[in-house]
Chains A and B, each alone.
Chain A
């Protein structure tokens, strides 16, 4: 079989969806991350404690984690366009309810249950799966561009929410979020997002792999493609990717919570610790794009393992270097590996198991990522309270990351990934001709 590549248009329509969803994700993550801005306002207005407000936050954490596979299954069944539209509409409605809450009990219900559940419809799980269906050859860079919106959302919209709260109060700031969903997110999804390239007469990447003999688009079915998500559970790559992803959740969650606290415990000022965390976030965005670009050129498992290995070195710096050096070394080394595992894991899942059940499978791995991370943050805090040091926690994370590195490297990508089935068929064609 031989094939030829044919470009169908100058700018592939999928890129409009990538930038549209990156913008929606930017707004959604920014709105969700503004929770912290309102905590002090709620404390004063509801005469309650941070601890009580945290109940809402904790419920939301569990609900959002558990909702991920549910939304994954819904996309597989109904397509992502309708789920994204429903998710954005209901989340906007949730924020409208949030602007009306009279006390902390309603906060727990509206934030913890309604918003955390409905926001799953425009979560990372849903948007990455949407993009996975539009791209094959350029899946890595497309997902990285998409996730850069998430990385920027907090840095730009949280100060926006903070200023707006000073000017008009928290209730009108929340109504501002309702307007963002109603006037920005929903119109973008409605006008731009389509379930698949075929729905507008295109093919993934905008590049046709045409079979010269039949004139049809050549198939790229991976050997492990599943029609039922349960079938993936009996295969090794799913567990390899999921286990490594849990370690990813553990390491990122621990550092998100304990990085500044670690800096303070080592005699570094909280300002310097927070600034280093800001540098980490900035490095993260730029390296994310580089990793996405590379992942379309070399084996994704190699990059994924390397990302975990680099992150392990970052954690090791926190243990062995003097604290002031370790702080900045981690900000740069750790920042370089921060979000990069997300597009690589999502892309590999789609490459290996095909697109039919990719929503459910991505949702399952994201659920494990969120719940595993949350639990280990609690364990890390307990260890610090008991021993007065983070060294044991960080050492445990280094070991887990090294294990994740070897697990990722051991994924048989060339054997199972659809990407390499294309290459093999072309090679076969060349040999035959």
Chain B
């Protein structure tokens, strides 16, 4: 079972624990604390989502308008 465990933990775990702690140490230096990183990333995700939806809808409406013309 161990090789499969490792397989799964690397694929589902994605990042090796050592690499994860290295990334965290860089983020800590940059953002000061994990909480700020979490808040900034959450806001970025929401802004990108809203922007993408608005731009996409406008482009689709334009495409439909061009097609009907």
Contacts and interface: CB of A to CB of B under 8 A. Distances in A.
A260 B16 contact: yes
A54 interface: yes
B59 interface: yes
Interface string A20-60: 10010001011011111101000000000011011101101
Given A9-B66, A35-B9, A200 B60 contact: yes
Nearest to A192: B56
Given A51-B5, A60-B8, A180-B45, A201 B14 contact: no
B7 A257 contact: yes
B57 to A, nearest CB: 6
B19 A50 contact: no
Contacts of B15: 33, 36, 154-155, 158-159, 278
Contact of B57 (A51, A159, A191): A191
Given A58-B8, A257-B3, 19 more contacts: A16-B59, A20-B56, A27-B45, A33-B14, A33-B15, A36-B12, A57-B5, A160-B37, A163-B27, A187-B49, A191-B53, A200-B63, A256-B10, A257-B10, A260-B16, A260-B18, A270-B18, A374-B4, A378-B3
Contacts of A410: none
Interface of B: 1-20, 22-24, 27, 34-35, 37-38, 41, 45-46, 48-49, 52-53, 55-57, 59-60, 62-64, 66-68
Contacts of A163: 24, 27, 34-35, 37-38
Contacts of A274: 16-19, 22
B60 A16 contact: yes
B59 A11 contact: yes
A326 interface: no
A82 interface: no
B35 A167 contact: yes
Interface string A353-394: 000000000000000000001100110111000000000000
B35 to A, nearest CB: 6
18 contacts: A11-B59, A17-B56, A20-B52, A34-B13, A39-B9, A50-B5, A54-B1, A58-B1, A155-B23, A167-B38, A188-B52, A192-B56, A202-B63, A270-B16, A278-B23, A377-B6, A378-B3, A381-B6
A163 B32 CA distance: 12
A275 interface: yes
Given A13-B60, A183-B49, A159 B37 contact: yes
